[in-house]
Amino acid sequence: MQTDSSFTFVLFGGTGDLSMRKILPALFEAHRAGGMLADSGKIVAVARHASDRADYIQWVNEHVKSHVSKNGVDETAWASFLARIEFINIDLSKAEDFVQLREVIEGLPGIRVFYLATGPSLFVPICRALASVGLNENARIVLEKPLGYDLKSSNAINDAVGEIFTEEQIYRIDHYLGKEPVQNLLALRFGNALFEPLWRREWVESIQITIAEELGVEARGDFYDNTGALRDMVQNHLLQLLSIVAMEPPHSMDSDSVRDEKLRVLRALKPIDPRDIGKVAVRGQYHSGVIRGNAVPAYATEPGVKPDSSTETFVALKVEIENWRWAGVPFFLRTGKRLADRVAEIVVNFRAVPHSALGASALRAGANRLVIRLQPNETIRLYCLAKQPGEGMNLASVHLDLAFDQFFREGQMEAYQRLLLDVINGRLALFVRRDEQEAAWRWVEPILNEWKASIKPPKPYASGTWGPAASSAMLAQHGTCWLEEEN
């Protein structure tokens, strides 16, 4: 991916965890690859936890190197990357301090990218301060999640930012959309005649989407206890993945064609009747347990968490899409913390053959399935049945693998690297449009409101398990189970 697009990348929250773990490592990998970033491109870090550029570069050396290339750091490339970085210490709550920022960047070339790796409470003040010094022209603004607490607060942020930047200037980032298997899902569906005829209710029995984490809330207790898994993961990541899986073929891969089709899926989600939430939604909260031999504490005892907290750390949902392609096909969404493994995957279970002359094994559920693994290793695996060697017609499950790191010699591009390059080059297809975000909040809100009003606490589950038993029971009612339970 060659580019000659000159840019000035302004990173607000330049000493924060996200900047250290994801953003700066992604920019370094693009720099190291050669040709992905224009030689004239500059990075301007904005923060208060460093006094000057030398102090900031020391901070970057200490906190970023461990998150870059697994094969070690090329010191020559690292030195030339650091040469791109400028630093400014300003108070983000003081609009007058942004005059200093303008003085630093007004002579720098190319499109201006403002990346807000800050808390959402600072989004509007930063945007207004940028406008007050005329920095909202020839610019793009990147907003990290969470964008609001509910539909009302999300709209308030979008309204305020929309008064300063046009929709075409706003990049709402969801890093799951930048992952290689998600991109390859689009390629498999829309680039091959094999899958598209099967990608519908006649041939698909059910679809599972899971994002599971072994980690707890770590040092984010204060934030997480006011957020919960439904807001933190379902409203954005899981619904975005669902819309990619279920969307109709777009007219082209330009930004609005792709996002128009995703929006149609979100608007076709069957509204959840509050009276049915107990049947189609499971919320849980982790208790103490053991993960990989290490004892871990209960959520309620984590720092920053209220001892009587009813915040959910686990969500499982049964979702339906009311359109011709997917009517009657259940989509099962699941996310949680302190689960048995760290995994993100999409499982497409195809229907069994209608009649088998080869025995009962050909009729079992899940004999044919497509598993798209997003993490930890990115693969796409197609399962089917084949005859076992030897006497008789005995069938066994086999699979065809697309393991990207083995098939393609060039290294895979990390999600943040792809998305940051898309921002710099003005490609919006992998970013969330405002109407998509509103549709997702509108669908999620009845669940949020019902759980807020409920006197029933979240269902407990032991850390190191796959969540409350009610999650498995919900799938059992539909004659299926989560993938790991079958194995």
Determine how many CB atoms are found less than 10 A away from the CB of residue 247. Answer: 21
In the block, tokens 């989560």 appear at 482
Query: For residues 57-92, b (16+ Cβ closer than 10 Å) or e, as one string?
Result: bebbeebbbeebeeeebeeebbeebbebbbbbbbeb
Determine the pLDDT at residue 68.
87
Q: What size, in residues, is the chain?
A: 487
To 10 degrees, what angle do helices 53-63 and 75-82 make?
140
Helices (H), 163-306: 180-191, 221-225, 228-229, 239-246, 255-268, 277-280
Nearest in space to 469 (alpha carbons), one of 279, 211, 284, 274: 284
pLDDT digits (tens, 9 = 90+) for 7-47: 999 999 999 999 999 999 999 999 998 889 999 999 999 99
Candidate list 237, 251, 355, 399, residue with the active-site label = 237
The mean per-residue pLDDT over the stretch 106-130 comes to 93
| CB distance 424 to 215 below 8 Å | no
Which amino acid is it at 220? R
CATH architecture of 7-144: 3-Layer(aba) Sandwich (3.40)
Return d(Cα 256, Cα 238) in angstroms, integer. Answer: 20
Predicted confidence (pLDDT) per residue in 52-78, tens digit: 999 999 999 999 988 887 667 889 999
CB 134 within 8 A of CB 196: no
pLDDT higher than 90, residue 280? yes
Q: Which amino acid is at 461?
A: Y
| Of 271 and 358, more confident | 271
**315-337: per-residue pLDDT in tens?**
999 999 999 999 999 999 999 99
pLDDT digits over 227-256, tens only? Answer: 999 999 999 999 999 999 999 999 988 889
Give me the pLDDT at residue 366, please: 67
8-state DSSP, 159: H
Report the C-alpha gap between 438 and 333 in whole angstroms: 19
Consult the annotation and say whether 232 binds a ligand: yes
Longest CA pairwise span in the chain (Å): 82
pLDDT tens for residues 123-156?
999 999 999 999 999 999 999 887 889 999 999 9
Tokens of 472: 């498995």
> Domain residue spans in the chain?
7-144, 177-412+432-486
pLDDT band at 422 (very low <50, low <70, confident <90, very high): very high
2 has pLDDT over 60: no
Threshold 0.85, pTM exceeds? yes
Give me the half-sphere count of Cα atoms (radius 13 Å) on the Cβ side of residue 279.
Answer: 7
Least confident of 159-163, 168-172, 303-307, 349-353: 349-353
Output Rg (C-alpha) for the chain, integer angstroms.
Answer: 24
> How far is it, in rounded angstroms, from Cα 367 to Cα 396?
9
Tokens of 225: 């206890």
Q: Compute the distance between CA of residue 92 and CA of residue 242 in angstroms, rounded to an integer.
A: 36
Residue 349 predicted with pLDDT over 80: yes
Is 91 annotated to bind ligand? yes
pLDDT at residue number 360: 64
Q: Is residue 279 marked as binding?
A: no
Residue 145: predicted pLDDT: 84
Which region among 158-162, 165-169, 368-372 has the lowest average model confidence (pLDDT)? 368-372
Whether 405 has a pLDDT exceeding 70, the answer reads no
CA triplet 145, 151, 154: central angle to 5 degrees?
40
Dihedral of the alpha carbons of 170, 420, 114, 434, in degrees to the nearest 10: 20
Q: Is 55 annotated for ligand binding?
A: no
Spatial distance between the Cα atoms of 1 and 11, rounded to a whole number of angstroms: 23
Catalytic residue status for 49: no
Both tokens assigned to 232: 């933190």
- In CATH, the number for domain 177-412+432-486 is 3.30.360.10
Strand partners, 9: 43, 113
179 is in an annotated binding site: yes
Contacts 24+ apart (CB under 8 A), 350-354: 350/198, 350/203, 350/204, 350/205, 351/202, 351/203, 351/204, 351/205, 352/205
List the one residue out of 186, 439, 477 whose CA is nearest residue 321: 439
Q: Residue 1 — very low, low, confident or very high, per pLDDT cuts 50/70/90?
A: very low
Considering only CA atoms, which of 12, 122, 26 is closest in space to residue 424?
Answer: 26
Q: What is the mean pLDDT of the chain?
A: 91
Distance CA 4, CA 28 (A): 17
Residue 432 has what pLDDT? 96
Q: Which of 6, 141, 171 is nearest to 84 (CA)?
A: 6
Instruction: Identify whether the C-beta of residue 385 lies closer than 8 Å to the C-beta of residue 396.
Output: yes
| Structural tokens at position 344 | 């993100």
74 annotated as ligand-binding? no
Say if 7-144 and 177-412+432-486 have the same CATH topology. no
415: left (phi over 0), alpha (psi -120 to 50) or beta: alpha
Q: Is the pLDDT of residue 359 over 80?
A: no
What percent helix, strand, coil does the chain show, rounded to 5?
40, 20, 40
For residues 346 and 176, give the distance between their C-alpha atoms in angstroms, rounded to a whole number: 12
Lowest pLDDT segment from 288-292, 300-304, 366-370: 366-370
User: In 64-205, which ranges are continuous DSSP H helix?
Assistant: 75-82, 98-105, 123-132, 151-162, 180-191
Question: Crossing angle, helix 151-162 and helix 434-453, to 10 degrees?
Answer: 150
pLDDT bin (cut points 50, 70, 90) of residue 193 is confident
